């Protein structure tokens, strides 16, 4: 019975490490999909001059599974435009659908929400490019850090598990 308990504790500790690694991987995925979607948005704005409502609907259909709920939620929320500003709706959708965003990513995206649809086309395109560059830099950094973070996370959680095993055994 004691051995089973210890095994559970060890497994719990290791799974915490797995969850940590998954979170880091999810961040990479979100960053990749956000960059892709912003790239697409920029192209659509530049070539087709699309209104944001149409653009958001399009993004909700063609984005990857990590960011698609964000655009879908934003599209739904656009019916409140007039009562709530676009920037606020953008912020609400970010909070609700991408809660795992860290501070820097969130601030970068919130800044973009303040510019989209509000200024003339070139200013919006510049804001999109700035946001994309910032997210790209964060992606590169996260990609570099990921192997070490994964090793550290798994190693640390396994060590804690073993330590607990030794102490309690």
Partner 1 sequence: MHMVECAKHLLEADYRTAVDQFDPDAIEEIRLRIGRPPQILMDGWEVLLDKRKVQERDLYRLLEVATEASVHTAAPMLAEGFLTYHGLRVGVCGTAIIRDGVFSGFRSYTSAAIRIPMQHPGICDEVADRLMENGFESTLILSPPGGGKTTALREIIRKLSQAGYRVGVADDRNELAFMNEGYAQLDLGEHCDVITGAEKARAAMMLLRGMNPQIIAMDEISSEKDMLAVEQLFGCGVSILASAHAAGPADLKRRDMYKHILDRHIFQYLVTITGAGSGRQYAVTRIER
User: Please, what is the minimum distance in Å from the beta carbon of residue 122 to partner 1?
Assistant: 6
User: Please, what is the minimum distance in Å from the beta carbon of residue 131 to partner 1?
Assistant: 16
Alpha helices in 63-120, H assignment, sequence order:
68-77, 86-97, 103-115
Q: Please identify, using beta-carbon distances, which residue of 124 and 157 lies nearer to partner 1.
A: 124
User: Would you tell me how many other CB atoms lie within 10 Å of the CB of residue 107?
Assistant: 12
Strand partners, 81: 84
| Of positions 6, 14, 16, 81, contacts partner 1 by CB under 8 A | 81
Q: Binding residues for partner 1, how many (CB under 8 A)?
A: 20
Strand partners, 84: 81
Residue 38-57 contact track with partner 1, rule CB under 8 A, x = bound: -------x---xxxxx----
Rounded CA separation 56/64 (Å): 14
Binding of partner 1 by 71 (CB under 8 A): no
Q: Please, are residues 124 and 117 in contact by the beta-carbon 8 Å criterion?
A: yes
Residues near partner 1, by CB under 8 A: 45, 49-53, 78, 81-82, 85-86, 116-124
């Amino acid at each position: 019975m004691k051995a089973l308990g210890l095994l559970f504790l060890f497994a719990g500790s290791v799974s915490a490490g797995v969850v940590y690694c998954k979170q880091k991987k999810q961040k990479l995925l979100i960053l990749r999909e956000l960059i892709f979607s912003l790239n697409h948005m920029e192209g659509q704005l530049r070539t087709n001059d699309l209104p944001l409502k149409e653009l958001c609907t399009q993004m909700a259909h063609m984005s990857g599974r990590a960011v698609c709920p964000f655009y879908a939620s934003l599209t739904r929320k656009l019916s409140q435009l007039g009562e709530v500003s676009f920037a606020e709706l953008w912020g609400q959708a970010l909070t609700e659908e991408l809660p795992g965003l860290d501070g820097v990513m969130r601030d970068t995206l919130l800044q973009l929400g303040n510019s989209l649809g509000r200024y003339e086309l070139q200013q919006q395109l510049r804001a999109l490019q700035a946001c994309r560059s910032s997210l790209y830099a964060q992606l590169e950094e996260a990609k570099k850090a990921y192997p070490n973070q994964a090793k550290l996370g798994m190693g640390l959680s396994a060590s804690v598990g073993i330590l607990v095993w030794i102490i309690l055994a």
